[in-house]
Amino acid sequence: MSHYAKVVDGIVTKVIVAEEDFFNDFVDDTPGKWVQTSYNTFGGVHKLDGTPLRKNYAGIGYSYDTAKDAFIPPKPYESWILNETTCLWEPPVEFPADGQDYIWNEGITNWTLVE
């Protein structure tokens, strides 16, 4: 079985599981198009060493960039930057590597220690 995302005006509105031949008989007269997505693809890497498909598994609310042929998750914070290779959003400041718990603080555009 494969996964397909319904893309309307560049935004994923549905994700379904179906065989490819399902679309031979399926009549969908609603706007948008169906684009295959891979459940095992994240950040341009296939979890099972297969061929990655469209950078990321599609989710409702994700965008589909036709030029990049990639599904991109919603931007979590205004200051975060799209990694063009993985098509994932990254903070402008690296996560601290001291083993403690942090949350992103958009007000100061930095990580705040969780007390």
64 and 79 both lie in a single domain: no
Would the pLDDT of 93 be above 90? yes
58 and 102 both lie in a single domain: no
When pLDDT is cut at 50, 70 and 90, the band that residue 88 belongs to is: very high
pLDDT for the residue 69: 98
62 and 88 both lie in a single domain: no
Q: Return the exposure string of 23-59: e unless at least 16 CB atoms fall within 10 Å of the residue's CB, then b.
A: eeeeeeeeebebbebbbebeebeeeeeeebbbbbbbe
68 and 81 both lie in a single domain: no
pLDDT digits (tens, 9 = 90+) for 30-77: 999 999 999 999 999 999 999 999 999 999 999 999 999 999 999 999
61 and 81 both lie in a single domain: no
Where is average pLDDT lowest: 5-9, 25-29, 102-106?
A: 25-29
Would the pLDDT of 24 be above 90? no
